[in-house]
Amino acid sequence: MNNLSALLASARMRLITISRYPGQIVLDIAVPVIFAALPIMLGRASGEAAASAAFSRNAGTPNYVAYMLIGSSVFSIVSMAFWHIAYWLRWEQESGTLEAIYLTPTHRAWVAGGTVLYSCLRSLVAAFAAYLIGAWVFGISPFQGEMGLALVFLAVGLVPVYGLALLFGALILKVKEANSLVSLMQWGVSFLMGVFFPITVFPPTLRAIALLFPPTWMTNGVRSALLGMGYFFGEWYFDLAVLWLFLLVTPLAGVRIFSWAERSLRRNEGVGQF
Amino acid sequence: MKASGNFNAFRVMAWKELTILARYPVEFVASFGRIFLIVAIFSLAGKMFFEGRPASAAGGMAAPASGVVIYGFVLYMFLSDTLWTIGYAVRQEQLQGTLEQLYLTPVSKLISLVARVTNTLVWNGMLTLAAAALMVAIIGRSPVQNPWLGAYLLIMALAGTFGVGFAFAALSLRLRETAQTVANFLQFGLMILCANFFPFSALPPWVVNISRLIPLAYGVDAFRSTLMGYPQGFPELAPIQAEVVIVTLFGVGMPLLGYWLYRRAELHARQQGSLSMY
């Protein structure tokens, strides 16, 4: 019970902090819309009907506006997971409170859980708002296809995404250059998950790497549920099963590697060094 | 201070920035990787609209599409950093507590501002060449017409953005922490309004009218239209002669205006005793 209240307090503290920066919240919503607008505008400038036909041939759906918006909205969720976890660790290090967190009777997993809860809430609200506003701006219906199934893909995909973020957090603890690494990782993630294109455009090796990456399955699952473009394994339940496998494996790997990074830091110079 | 003294000060300041840059190899490598990934993402996205499509069905866009994206990107690379680096550098000096001391030295304030962005420009030049080569490999070769006029327009647009950079540095002194959020908004706003990655014809007419109020938009339009050899429909905002005049005025006038604004903000901060407050 005490642990749970520590988790909720950690999430609440971060939500209160972000509520003091309304400009940042607006930016969270605006960025995915603007990000998606760039390729959408290029498509529109090249002739609406011809662009749709070409896109349909290459990506499997003529609805390139929704395709791009879904890609950028899911990307914003994934990207925020990495930013929030990495910056939480780095911020605690820089402000000198990480060492103190390790010495409190509440296990740090609960404090980290609060950060994850805050990050989930913030990124989901921003992604949904961005998708709805983007759909309104570009004149498409946001409610199409199998909405429930898309939400299931999103919900199941969130767990491995935060598992990956934890893996990344271990790297931040070691290398300590959060800004550079997160911004590189952010673009690496969007590339591998096929933010604006299907991963079939990749050469076989790169495609195999992309398929080992949970956000790729999450993005394709949401897109296929909403736009009916086809799942990797033909049926939704096969793709969802793969995502479930990631759900079991990735957090375990994340915790294991994070713990290893922590241990090695505590043995050497302590987690408060930065 | 004499001209040679100023030059030496500029050299030392630029060297200091380069030394700092070299001490963060992760950032060095990450910036290179980041640009390659951004280029690959947008090039592959653009390819989805043009691959396997007959040129006649491209809405008049197939031929200049690669030029629009590649030249727009080249300009974006230079402009985005020039715009914000100066302001961020001033902010960084505030955070480190060295801005007040810097103002007590006899070094020209203008040189101090320009030195911040010199390395970025050189590094960006190398990144841009490599990224443009990657773009050509993915979406195809783009025509290179009128290179001298193109280079002139690039220099003028850059000079103008230096001016905007000075103005933003002035804003950083006034707004402090909020300046970063304002910068982010402006950066994304300009990305759409200046249509770096797509033609202006993709924007709704009322947005194009707003773009027409921004000199930088003429810089983007004139630069890429000139290098593409003025294909049908380009330049999109005004006749090229008018765009060259606007870009020249921007390149000459904006640095003067921006620097004047910066000196005013700086004077205000010194009178208020808030130069090192953040």
Q: Do B59 and A46 touch (CB under 8 A)?
A: yes
pLDDT at residue A171 above 70? yes
- For chains A and B, CB pairs below 8 A equal 136
Q: Do B30 and A184 touch (CB under 8 A)?
A: yes
- Output the six-digit token pair for A168: 């990344």
Q: Do A34 and B192 touch (CB under 8 A)?
A: yes
Mean pLDDT, rounded, of chain B: 83
Residue A197 forms part of a structural domain: yes
Average pLDDT over residues B39-47: 85
What is the C-alpha to C-alpha distance for residues B198 and B208, in angstroms, rounded to an integer?
13
pLDDT computed for residue A66 by the predictor: 95
Average pLDDT over residues A101-119: 85
Q: Which residue has the higher pLDDT, A118 or A255?
A: A118
pLDDT at residue A181 above 80? no
Alpha carbons within 13 angstroms on the beta-carbon side of residue B175 total 15
Q: What is the pLDDT of residues A21-34, one digit of tens each?
A: 888 899 899 999 99
Query: Is the Cβ–Cβ distance between A29 and A35 less than 8 Å?
Result: no
How many C-beta atoms surround the C-beta of residue B125 within 10 A?
A: 13
Residues B200, B203, B204, B207, CA torsion sign: negative
Residues A169, A174, A176, A178, CA torsion sign: negative
pLDDT band at B8 (very low <50, low <70, confident <90, very high): confident
Chain B nearest-CA distance from A201, in A, is 8
Q: Do B69 and A195 touch (CB under 8 A)?
A: no
pLDDT at residue A133 above 80? yes
pLDDT computed for residue A129 by the predictor: 96
Using DSSP, state whether B137 is helix, strand or coil: helix
Which residues of A are less than 8 Å from B198 in CB distance? 38, 41-42, 44-45
- Alpha helix (H) residue ranges in A176-228: 178-192, 204-211, 214-227
Nearest residue, CB atoms, B52 vs list A39, A54, A181: A54
Q: Do A41 and B44 touch (CB under 8 A)?
A: no
pLDDT at residue B74 above 60? yes
Alpha carbons within 13 angstroms on the beta-carbon side of residue B233 total 14
Least confident piece of the model among A12-16, A205-209, B130-134: B130-134
Q: What is the pLDDT of residues A86-101, one digit of tens each?
A: 888 877 877 778 778 7
Chain A nearest-CA distance from B40, in A, is 8
What is the C-alpha to C-alpha distance for residues A98 and A93, in angstroms, rounded to an integer?
5
pLDDT at residue B278 above 70? no
pLDDT computed for residue B10 by the predictor: 85
Q: Do A27 and B181 touch (CB under 8 A)?
A: yes
Chain CA centroid to CA A19, Å:
21
Nearest residue, CB atoms, A177 vs list B24, B49, B69: B24
pLDDT computed for residue A273 by the predictor: 62
pLDDT band at A107 (very low <50, low <70, confident <90, very high): confident
pLDDT computed for residue B13 by the predictor: 84
Chain B nearest-CA distance from A26, in A, is 9
**What letters, b where the CB count within 10 A reaches 16 and e where it falls short, cover B20-59?**
eeeeeeebeebbbbbbbbbbbbbbbbbbbbbeebeeeebb
Q: What angle separates helix B178-193 from helix A22-45, to the nearest 10 degrees?
A: 10
Nearest residue, CB atoms, A38 vs list B47, B58, B197: B197
Query: Is the Cβ–Cβ distance between B117 and B19 less than 8 Å?
Result: no
Q: Do B47 and A39 touch (CB under 8 A)?
A: no
Q: Do A38 and B191 touch (CB under 8 A)?
A: yes
Chain A nearest-CA distance from B157, in A, is 22
Q: Residue A197: which residues within 8 A CB-CB, separation 6 or more?
A: A58, A59, B41, B44, B45, B47, B48
A interface mutation test: which of B35, B41, B51, B127 has the most A CBs within 10 A? Answer: B41
Q: Which residue has the higher pLDDT, A129 or B68?
A: A129
Nearest residue, CB atoms, B26 vs list A38, A58, A175: A175
pLDDT at residue B57 above 60? no
Average pLDDT over residues B156-178: 84
Chain B nearest-CA distance from A49, in A, is 9
Q: What is the pLDDT of residues B217-233, one digit of tens each?
A: 999 999 999 988 898 88
What is the C-alpha to C-alpha distance for residues A55 and A69, in angstroms, rounded to an integer?
14
Nearest residue, CB atoms, B41 vs list A34, A43, A190: A190
Domain that residue A119 falls in = 2-268
Residue of A nearest to B33 (CA): A184
DSSP characters for A73-113? HHHHHHHHHHHHHHHHHHHHHHTT-HHHHHHSSS-HHHHHH
* Total domains, chain A: 1
pLDDT at residue A260 above 70? yes
What is the C-alpha to C-alpha distance for residues B73 and B36, in angstroms, rounded to an integer?
12
Residue of A nearest to B195 (CA): A38
Q: Do A45 and B57 touch (CB under 8 A)?
A: no
Residue A274 forms part of a structural domain: no
Q: Do B34 and A187 touch (CB under 8 A)?
A: yes
**Rounded percentage of chain A residues whose pLDDT exceeds 90:** 51
Chain B nearest-CA distance from A156, in A, is 26
pLDDT computed for residue B183 by the predictor: 78
For residue A167, which of A51, A75, A257 has the smallest C-alpha distance? A257
Mean pLDDT, rounded, of chain A: 88
Query: Is the Cβ–Cβ distance between A169 and A86 less than 8 Å?
Result: yes
Burial of A109 (0-12, 13-18, 19+ CB in 10 A): middle
Nearest residue, CB atoms, A23 vs list B38, B69, B181: B181
Chain A nearest-CA distance from B59, in A, is 5
pLDDT computed for residue A109 by the predictor: 81
Q: Which residue has the higher pLDDT, A96 or A215?
A: A215
Nearest residue, CB atoms, B61 vs list A47, A59, A201: A47
Q: Which residue has the higher pLDDT, A115 or A2?
A: A115
Q: Which residue has the higher pLDDT, B244 or A178?
A: B244
Q: Do A46 and B62 touch (CB under 8 A)?
A: yes
Residue A165 forms part of a structural domain: yes
Residue A62 forms part of a structural domain: yes
Domain boundaries, chain B: 3-272
**Rounded percentage of chain B residues whose pLDDT exceeds 90:** 22
Residue A273 forms part of a structural domain: no
- CA angle, corner B257, sides to B251 and B258, nearest 5? 85
pLDDT computed for residue B56 by the predictor: 56
- Output the six-digit token pair for B197: 């990655």
pLDDT at residue B246 above 80? yes
pLDDT computed for residue A73 by the predictor: 96
pLDDT computed for residue B217 by the predictor: 94
- Output the six-digit token pair for A159: 């767990």
